[in-house]
Amino acid sequence: MRHATVLSSFSVMAGILGLSFAAGAAGPANLPTGIYSSLAASERSGDFVGLEIFVLQGATGHFAVIQGSEGAPGDPITVPLQVNGNAVRFSIPGRCACALPEGIYEAQLSQNRATLRGPGTFGERQLPRRNSFWQGGQ
């Protein structure tokens, strides 16, 4: 009798764990994370231009570490992401030393690239998914 109770308890726990893992696999956990970068050094001037977005998951949701550059690299900034499928939305605050204009940004993420749209004259930019510029070999 005791053996049947242990097996029954084990079956219930395995079922609960299975449901937990299945629930965790759905939704924002499927968001393509990683580094999306157009950051490069100009061969003529040596200036740094472009931007990098590192999309990662934290304990309370998804975040991005973002760094822009228009001549000299800006300071990296960490922002929380609003996630809807593979689309993300974030805000850059005013007076940010990250070399990006203040405002709301939206990106569509895929395994190969991020299509990023920003405020005003920022327009739309394509960021390939690749290693960070700072890892070298770019």
CA distance to 70, 74, 103, 114, per residue, from 95 (Å): 15, 12, 11, 25
Q: Which fold, 31-133?
A: Lipocalin (2.40.128)
Supply 128's token pair. Answer: 């390939």
In tens, the pLDDT along 32-72 reads 999 999 999 988 888 999 999 999 999 999 999 999 998 99
Domain spans, the chain: 1-29, 31-133
Query: How many angstroms separate the CA atoms of 51 and 35, rounded?
Result: 11
Section 78-86 average pLDDT: 97
* pTM summary value: 0.77
